[in-house]
Amino acid sequence: MIFVVIWISRLRSKAEWAEYTALPEIQRLSEDRDWIAAYNLAKQVQGLVPEEVMNNQVWPLVSRFVPIKSNPEGARVYRKYYTDYNAEWEHLGQTPIDSIRFPLGFSRLKLEKPGYQSINAAVFSGEMYDLQFKLDTINAIPKNMVRIPGGIYRPNIPGLFNSDTIKIGDFLIDKYEVTNREFKLFIDNGGYKDQKFWKHPFVVKGEKISWDKAMNYFKDMTDRTGPSTWEFGDYPDGEDDYPVAGISWFEAAAYAEYKGKNLPTIFHWYIAAEPTSVSEYIIPLSNFGNKGVSTVGSRQAMSPWGTFDMAGNVQEWCLNQTEKETEKYILGGAWSDFHYMFHDPNASSAFERSSKNGFRCVKYLPDNIPPANTLINFISHSRHYLTEKPVTDKIFQIYKRMYTYDKTELNAKVDSIETASDWYKEKIFFDAAYGNERMFAYLFVPKDYPQPYQTIVYFPGANAIRESSSKNIGRKLIWQIVKSGRALIYPIYQGTYERSPGFNHDYPMYSNSQREFVICLYRDLARSIDYLETRNEIDVNRLAYVGVSWGASMGALLPAIENRIKVNILWTGGFQHEKAYPEVDIFNFTPRITIPTLMLNGKYDYIFPVELSQIPLYNLLGTSTDNKRHILFDTGHVIPENKGIQEVLDWLDKYLGPTSK
């Protein structure tokens, strides 16, 4: 009997641990994107909590159901977490897998089928989609090349966001950067002696030169033919599998011709590298900030489709030229670079033979030759904020007057009220400041806190442009701000949610319509504050601005015009890459912001890179050093929510004052 009592007691103790300790910890870990720990803890509580709780509350926090398919079928599928690359592979089953629980986060996949080339891939399951893979027979594609699936793409390239969509067919790309061993075979087989491999004109100072003269540019350190880093026509012993370095664009293009391949266009390169969603995982494993190159593939920095070292090691020549005839794109960054060069476009003279320069090749499949709009020259509109200067105060005052509007009657009406345990939410309509339009906003008001309330004016991310309904707006950041005893107004800005169609993107454009759009955004924000002034329970002398992503970028402009805002919080924002008219150029407004400003960012943010976007904005703020702060998290564009919220609440406590019931 005593053993039964002990057994029941232990079982009850485990159940209590699961309910009161493990479940809250799973919630916290998932919000902080610590997927491995969250998923492993979820597996531990399985069987200790009711199945309904597991299926409806626990598993959705840490996993998604996903089908995995292959053509042909019958491939064995394995997975492991991306960062845990030394772990044993977990066998998931054999394709087609109609639906399997897949952990959130970034995972490595492996597909194997006898007679076919194995596939290695990496998938981010936070934005899970059907996983479909095309298997190639052993001899169908060249050794150490991988298939990249095609589709319709809008170039997600800093400085080229305004480009049209393009259609890309399936193509092959080298799994690794071209090595010393491989390039030596090119030389030994007459690569520098056979003119048929050198298809592109050589232009020096605006004039074409002959092939014979051009060959004099391509010598090693001992004046022998070969890469600039070699001696006596050869590379150092033991460096067979190092990437070849010290290569000009012409040499890279000649090697590609010799192999029956091509240099990738910038679009093909970015599609294969896919830095948008994977920077925070790939960069820590990549060869950046070091003293030299590494053996190809040795650092386990694998991109989504199974290529290695597209971030760092050597920067890689691409086919396209910039607006300058002699300048070619070279992407991915190198061993000595800052990590943001993984995703920021770079270009050099086609004759440049830096020890950082290498390449990989692509091969286009039959009927999938790249369309003409991928081969043309591309003018990057990326900004160089460290060398630009804002307009003078006199000119800025002229720009500022463009944002003014007539303070007419609001004609406000509360349309609906929704009540929750800690707050209530009002949907309020009132007249906009332009075009005889009506706009609306949601006002979140805390319960059981003394009035008047400190209030936050919220500006969302670009998801607000793409979504058609504001019915389910909200995120933990909003709830926690309101639960802290502060009110929050969420204006539905021009072009967002129900107030679309408008602009279908959040990046700047050099156009009149963009200028009018930004002015409308300010007037919507100001009109919402006009409404707050009519509410006795709101303390309009203690207003803070909180912007997320797009809203954080706009937070470097709007508070420069709206002097009723006293505190500024920019959640994952920065300067954007494209140019805009100067009267709506954020760069001209940032120095005029002098209120306390908190910036929260990810170290590996692809959208707002640290060195090129975040730091220039932070340094340009007119706020004194004592009253501004830049916090970097070890993530990409998405930062840990709990930690970020705590920083926000601490900042509000410091500059608006603490709240208490």
**Model's pTM, two decimal places?**
0.75
Q: What is the mean pLDDT of residues 628-650?
A: 91
**Which residues touch 108 (CB under 8 Å, ≥6 apart)?**
79, 80, 81, 82, 85, 120, 121, 122, 302
Residue-wise pLDDT for 556-567, tens only, equals 999 999 999 999
Alpha-carbon torsion (571, 577, 578, 582), positive or negative: positive
Residue 439 lies in a domain: yes
Instruction: Please state which of the ranges 115-119, 336-340, 366-370, 442-446 shows the lowest mean pLDDT.
Output: 366-370
Residue 159 lies in a domain: no
Average pLDDT, the chain: 88
User: Looking at the predicted structure, is the pLDDT value of residue 379 above 60?
Assistant: no
Classify burial at 540, counting beta carbons within 10 Å of its beta carbon; exposed 0-12, middle 13-18, buried 19 or more: middle
Q: What is the CATH number of the domain that holds 421?
A: 3.40.50.1820
Same domain flag for 369 and 398? no
Same domain flag for 573 and 510? yes
Same domain flag for 357 and 399? no
Same domain flag for 582 and 642? yes
Same domain flag for 121 and 74? yes
Q: What is the DSSP letter of 308?
A: B
Q: Which amino acid is at 442?
A: Y
Same domain flag for 620 and 588? yes
Same domain flag for 221 and 125? no
Do 169 and 364 meet the contact criterion of CB atoms below 8 Å apart? yes
pLDDT at 7: 43
Provide the pLDDT confidence category of residue 378 given band limits of 50, 70 and 90. low
Residue 380 lies in a domain: no
Distance CA 526, CA 187 (A): 67
Distance CA 142, CA 262 (A): 14
Query: Which whole-number Å values give the CA distances from 546 to 124, 281, 571, 591, 604, in the listed order?
Result: 28, 28, 7, 18, 22
**Which residues touch 235 (CB under 8 Å, ≥6 apart)?**
180, 184, 227, 229, 242, 244
Residue-wise pLDDT for 109-161, tens only, equals 999 999 999 999 988 775 545 678 899 998 888 989 999 988 777 666 666 65
Last residue of a domain, one of 342, 374, 406: 374
pLDDT at 237: 92
Last residue of a domain, one of 341, 374, 407: 374
Same domain flag for 207 and 286? yes
Q: For residue 235, what are the domain limits?
A: 171-374
User: Looking at the predicted structure, is the pLDDT value of residue 193 above 60?
Assistant: yes
Same domain flag for 440 and 533? yes
Q: Which amino acid is at 208?
A: K
User: Looking at the predicted structure, is the pLDDT value of residue 490 above 90?
Assistant: yes
Q: What is the CATH number of the domain that holds 248?
A: 3.90.1580.10
Residue 615 lies in a domain: yes
Instruction: Please state which of the ranges 256-265, 601-610, 623-632 shows the lowest mean pLDDT.
Output: 601-610
Q: Which residue has the higher pLDDT, 270 or 594?
A: 594
Residue 156 lies in a domain: no
pLDDT at 620: 96
Same domain flag for 527 and 568? yes
Give the residue among 430, 650, 642 at the shortest CA–CA distance from 535: 430
Q: How many CA atoms lie within 13 A of 596 on its CB side?
A: 15
Q: Which residue has the higher pLDDT, 421 or 542?
A: 542
Same domain flag for 282 and 206? yes
Residue 60 lies in a domain: yes
Q: What is the mean pLDDT of residues 447-461?
A: 94
Give the residue among 464, 484, 607 at the shortest CA–CA distance from 544: 484
Residue-wise pLDDT for 494-541, tens only, equals 999 888 765 556 667 778 888 999 999 999 999 999 999 999 999 999
pLDDT at 473: 87
Same domain flag for 314 and 242? yes
Last residue of a domain, one of 346, 374, 402: 374
Residue 379 lies in a domain: no
pLDDT at 95: 92
Dihedral (Cα; 35, 39, 45, 50), 10-degree rounding: 100
Residue 612 lies in a domain: yes
Query: Which whole-number Å values give the CA distances from 605 to 89, 394, 546, 617, in the listed order?
Result: 30, 35, 19, 14
Domain count of the fold of the chain: 3
pLDDT at 277: 67
